[in-house]
Structure 1
Amino acid sequence: MIIGWDPNKVKVLVVHMNKQVTHCFVETVVDKSTFYCSFVYASNYGIQSRRLWSDLSRHKALAGRFPWVILGDFNVTLKFEEHSDGGAFMSDEMIEFQNCINDIEVEDLCNTGFNFTWTKSLKNPNCDVLKKLDRVLVNEEFINTFSNAHAIFQPFSISDHSPALLNIPNGLVHKSKSFRFMNFVADKAEFLPLVENGWKKEVNGCAMFCVVKKLKALKKDLNKLNWQHGNIFTNVEVLKRKLKDCQAKVDTFPHDTEIKAAAVQVLNDYTQACKDELKILKQKVRLKWLEDGDKNTKFFHGILKARKSKSRIESICNEHGQRFFGDKVADQFVSHFQNFFGKASNVQPHDDIGDIFTNTLSVEDANEMVTDVTNDEIKEAIFDIDSNKASGPDGFTAGFFQKSLVYYR
């Protein structure tokens, strides 16, 4: 295992090393950011790999409280789908690897590029054995510190392994976030009157056009209602400190009614802010909520941060194999769909389509599909949607429609 670095960009201190892993402490020259980095080249034999898993578990005692990235060739897959042929059972090596991942509390970093990172033979055209043996794993602290970091698995070239590139950008240009309806707003007293006033505005056009225009007009007012007390998460911390101060004053002046009244008001504000925070977190994580205290579990916060990290698209390849990063990613999506939808093609008539569509609907089923949809069916479909599902293209969730329909039904 050979490790090299540019001393003008990073300082590297080797903490510990053996045949399968080298643990390093890395510091950037520019902004003095620090993190632990473990380079792995696991053995092909399961018995020797157990020493690697034990070594990583021991190193967690040192690196677990700091940003930590583990990258390299682990010589074992985690899941069935990481093998081109799939599989029918979990091998002992896979189970031991999964146990190690859970023990040291790391997960795959958001990655792009190749899915399978190892091939049995590049020169044999009949070889179809591909596996994901290389990966970049990070802990929660690494995601918190380097939120824009991602991994890129590049083409094999002449190697049987895909080179892995860990990209830690210095910073991306801040973009204003698009509107997203937060469910907690629907429980505010101002919500229904606000929607009522918005729906009374005159809009000319077909029914669907009127709905879309009214929804767009509501965005500004709903966003203002969302931020009327500032950032919810910051507000919770501020009110918590303020509540402590008020309660300390009550302890000093137990008979002062004004101080006690102020403490009660702050307590009510703090309680409401905590409820709003809980609803936002519940909507963001989009998992089945088990208990009211789920937001305080490490599992919950891990899922939330992992979902946020993996949902990003940091780079993309076009049809010519060119890779684009940052702001140019969105341009490639636009270009792709412009080419896909914006070109006309010659269509040849086909007289006999019976050999193409072998599975057809019966006359009764076909007639059922074109019957008029009743208002009760629309209401049932809308109310059947989980209010914490992801928002649509216009930023509104099902929760908005459910609360609004309760008012207008």
Structure 2
Amino acid sequence: MIKFASWNIRGLNALIKQREVRDFIRVKSLSLCCIIESKVLPSNLGDVSGRVFGSWNWVSNGLSCTQGTRLIIAWDPSVLSLIVIAQHLQYVNCEIRIVGVERRDLWRALRKFKAFIDNKAWIAMGDFNTMLFPHDGLGCQYIWIQKPSGDGGILRKLDRILGNLEFIDKFGDASDFFEPRGISDHSPGILTFKGGKRIRNCGFKFDNFLTSHKDFLSSVEGVWIKQKRGSYMKKILLKMQEMKGVCRRLRNSYGCLDKKVTLLKSELDVAQLACDLDPFNDLLKEDVAHLLLAYQQARNDQLEMVKQKAKISWLNEGDGNSKFFFHSMKEKRNRNHIAAIKDSRGMVFEHDEVPKAFITHFSGILGTFDAMVNPSMEDCVFYRSFFNGISAINSTHY
């Protein structure tokens, strides 16, 4: 099913509107979306379109506009191809073609199997013989060579070991390694991870958006004015422990922010549709205004919570936190994990032996710890040479 959509968004610079458009494209499974009255400056089109449309292609008439871009057309390149014929301040004329369906049987089968396994840990590994982006085939280790024994061969990374979000959550210590090719032109891939039960310790986490709660300051003051016995540090410790319960009660009053945003969005859609049918009803207009305010506040709280969890610098610039972003963060964390290392003698150390290998290596370079005698200034060679030179200069002057 191919779906096109157009939306007069009345400005796409606000983060909440960018997130709204992206969710709209995802929920409605669109293949093409035309944004009208985006009001985005041509210099900001790349950043805004990247946050909103992700890997989609897009065109605009920004060069024809003097006060911000009016039209942005974005489409899924795996479904459609688009050629611009003419563009103007008021329109963009283009030709759209539907892309062929090669190599889709595999993805269709994987989607069916994903529905079968539901929320279980799942991995897919092997030679996929394709790439999502051209740079995906490049890297420091090529695992497929077209001509292993000749010149001018093609080097690519076509073999993959992929795991879903449930697998990464359950086996966070998993690592993969591709061995030498041997007699083949492809490298064999090995996936290792620890089995057994994992126990997670859930600590206290403070959500920054709680500071905007109307009862936050009064709740903190109520705890802080209470008298506690003990030293100053013990008093602060007791008050901070009591503050945990207060913060948890305030956090529970918000409920699940994701479900709250979804519910408010549904209620806002219903209210706006009812207001469109009866535009002169003041009660419906008031309900729409209240729901819109509550929806925007819930969206902002959700964005603040996800920003705090991510702790990444470019989120401060306002990214909307897509599902792909969280997968990328988990991939980055696993990529930085050192599962095995080889020393100068060729010995391989894995898992718990890796830290010991580092200590042994740097101990041989830096040496071991020893109590160092701090020499007095009178015994310092630099001190004696410096002041002997000063004495010689003074005697010369006199």
Shorter-normalised TM-score: what interval? 0.3 to 0.5
Answer 1 or 2: higher relative contact order, Cα 8 Å, separation at least 6. Answer: 1
User: Based on CA coordinates, which of the two structures has the bigger radius of gyration?
Assistant: 2
TM-score of the pair, normalised by structure 2: 0.43
Give the TM-score taking structure 1 as reference length.
0.42
